Amino acid sequence: MAHVLKDMQPLRVLLLASAACACAADQSGRTISDEVDEVSLDGSDWRFELDDVADGGAGEGLRPGQEWYMPAHPHPADAIRVPGSWGAQGFGNKTAAYRHAWSGVGWYYRNLSVPASWCASTSHSTAGSDGSRRSSSKIELTIGGIMRRGRAWIDGVQLGTEHIGYLDEWNIEIEDDILCGNSSEKPGIRHDGSTVLNKRLAVRVDNRANHSDGDCFSGCLDLRGMEAVLQVADEHTPVGMEWGGIWDHVSLRRWHPNSVSDLFVYPADPYLVVWGVSSVDLMVNISLREPATASTTVQVSISQDLPTASDGTPARDSSMHAHVVAVGAVVVPAAAEAAQLKLTVNSPNLWSPDTPAMYRATASWGSGRVLNTSVSFGIKHLTTAGPTLRLNGAALYIHGVGDDFTYMETEAPPLDKELYRTRLLTFKRFGFNFIRLHSHFEASEYMAAAAEVGILLSPALPMGAKNGSSHCARLDLAEGI
């Protein structure tokens, strides 16, 4: 027994983290606003136009005298739905392989409406070192994902810098005077007592990769330029994908002072053998959006999802998250950005493909109005004993299948957890308990569905560049290793 335990190399707690914010969690694998702290910009209120980049340059929209990001540039007539690929919505040119393909730039436009309470006032602001007034809350534009580079403007003022990469969330803090300038400062801004109107958001999306600045990711999600690598002789073979656009959710968020932005749960002892034990100690790391303006008490609870479905998967009804198994509190000192505490889960239910037990850690804070953020996770113990994989002490036999980003109708990954549940349960009915995600990472909804139905995942680094760039070549080597 001692020899077996010595050879075992356990992994840490399985985590399926939602994008945390000052809000209440839903069951999609993400989080949603609990009041007016998030204004969704999803939907068909966007207008769209393609920008001719046939010369390989930046396109018409950035040329002096054109400047499509300025308010004077007319709104295009064509509507587009966000999130979603532009090709799947009929934008682009017909090719031998695709009905609508476009490699280049697309421009998105929409008008913004936000609650007037979001804007700075002297009664809800602090004085800066230069004597200016600043709101005590922060307003942020969040774009969950683009394919693959982006720049954004409000009323012609650029927000932040260029965003590069299609795998990470794009968050841009918006200065008060850009979003909330009054009519005397910015003609055309109207106040109706409840809403600030007539702000124009422009987003420029370029789906071309530029390997010279380190934008090396490719793989199943982006096979552009892979014909030579895959030794495809026929130029009409649909290998080079040219999809693009804003493919993930878009919103305006207001962050309150001392807001918790992230939770991370991990075992206090990562080498503890967790099966058959009476309790497991978990560490909860709490990260704030920015340094605390005052000492803040954060309450943390861990609850267990109760399985009710006939297939044994956890309940999806949020009312079932009432089975609290651990509670605690921690004080985040003024000026600190993080804190942690230890919580003990007694008689833990371990995650496995046959019994996908899930837990949820929830942090609550605030006086008067309580804000929440939460993250789902499972507890498992994955080890090796000689040539055998063991999960929670039992031999693990992997029955695997590959999932290679096959979304023919949407091009971009769907953001529908129920769609993924249906798809993954089909895999399970055929006896599979493991999926390799070939050279790509999936959306949060996919990850959450896999955890709930009991599927082990192995995402691969999205690398297949082979483009001659020395920086990308190093990443290719890392992927090969």
Quickly list DSSP for 352-370. Answer: -SSSB--EEEEEEE-SSS-
Whether the CB-CB separation of 188 and 70 falls below 8 Å is answered with no
The pLDDT, as a whole number, for residue 420 is 95
Which tokens in the block code for residue 132?
């200016």
- Closest C-alpha to 380, from 370, 371, 388, 389: 389
In angstroms, rounded to a whole number, what is the distance separating the alpha carbons of residues 308 and 320? Answer: 9
Three-class SS of residue 192?
coil
Q: Kind and range of the H or E element at 447?
A: helix 444-453
Whether the CB-CB separation of 401 and 435 falls below 8 Å is answered with yes
In angstroms, rounded to a whole number, what is the distance separating the alpha carbons of residues 329 and 342? Answer: 9
The pLDDT, as a whole number, for residue 321 is 47
Whether the CB-CB separation of 92 and 48 falls below 8 Å is answered with no
Q: Kind and range of the H or E element at 4?
A: helix 2-7
Three-class SS of residue 340?
strand
- Closest C-alpha to 445, from 409, 415, 403, 481: 415
Residue 118: phi and psi, rounded to 5, are: -75, -25
The pLDDT, as a whole number, for residue 99 is 86
Three-class SS of residue 389?
strand
Whether the CB-CB separation of 109 and 51 falls below 8 Å is answered with no
What number of other Cβ atoms are within 10 A of residue 190's Cβ?
A: 10
Which tokens in the block code for residue 433?
């308990």
323-332 and 296-304 as β-strands: parallel, antiparallel, unpaired? antiparallel
- Closest C-alpha to 169, from 186, 183, 150: 150
CA 82 to chain centre: 15
Residue 404: phi and psi, rounded to 5, are: -115, 45
The pLDDT, as a whole number, for residue 462 is 78
| CB-side neighbour CA atoms (13 Å) of 15 | 19
Three-class SS of residue 283?
strand
- DSSP state, residue 126: E
Which amino acid is it at 303? S
Q: Is the pTM of this model over 0.85?
A: no
* Residue 341: exposure state from Cβ atoms within 10 A (0-12, 13-18, ≥19): middle
* Helical segments of 87-139, H only: none
The pLDDT, as a whole number, for residue 38 is 86
In angstroms, rounded to a whole number, what is the distance separating the alpha carbons of residues 149 and 412? Answer: 15
- Closest C-alpha to 379, from 342, 427, 401, 347: 347
* 91-118 as b/e: b if 16+ CB within 10 A: bbeeeeebebbbbbbbbbbbebbbeeeb
pLDDT above 70 coverage of the chain, percent: 72
Bin 21: left if φ > 0, else alpha if -120 < ψ < 50, else beta.
beta
What DSSP string describes 223-241? -TT-TTTTT---TTSTTS-
The pLDDT, as a whole number, for residue 368 is 62
- Closest C-alpha to 302, from 346, 262, 334: 346
Q: Which residues of the chain have pLDDT under 50?
A: 1-27, 31-36, 121-135, 183-191, 225-239, 308-310, 312-315, 318-321, 465, 476-481
Which tokens in the block code for residue 82?
């966000």
